[in-house]
Amino acid sequence: MRANSQATVDYIDLSARMLELAQMRVGEQRVVYHHADALTIPLPDAEYDLVVTHFFLDCLDASGQERLVERMRRALSPGGRWLVSEFCKAGMFVALLYAFFRLTTGLHTRELADYRTLFRRHGFRLERSESAWGGRLVSELWIESSGALAGG
């Protein structure tokens, strides 16, 4: 928000507590907070320049991931970008994190999301990738490729 004074943000979260924490931390008049499910909230077509999901895709089963990617693809403007951060390397550390999240949040999934195949199938291409924690964590910037090919 500091980098772009014209930016507006729609923040969607199913957790009322997470919304409350975000509002306390960020505040910001240019942020509209939505207590809603990302799989069902009405979204405009071709409206967003950027979608950001950090540690969210692995909260969904395969059909939920498919629905989310379809919805976000429609909501992104041509050439829009999607910033994703997820765990990407199985092992004891990630298994412990999943166990913790199952206990504290009711997370149902038990494995890392294979979102890359899904993104490519829906017309996204990987623009940039960075990893941390010995490759256990990845942040990737994906671009909606029809707009990219058209110079968008």
- The CATH number assigned to the domain with range 47-149 reads 3.40.50.150
d(CA 57, CA 49): 19
Q: What is the signed CA dihedral for 94, 85, 112, 107, rounded to 10 degrees?
A: 80
Encoded tokens for 103? 């206990």
Phi-psi region of 79 (alpha: psi -120 to 50; beta: other; left: phi over 0): left
Pairing outcome for strands 76-87 and 31-35: unpaired
Pairing outcome for strands 76-87 and 137-144: antiparallel
- Say whether pTM exceeds 0.85: no
Domain residue extents for the chain: 1-36, 47-149
For 93-140, the pLDDT digits (tens) are 666 766 666 566 655 665 656 889 999 999 999 999 999 878 878 999
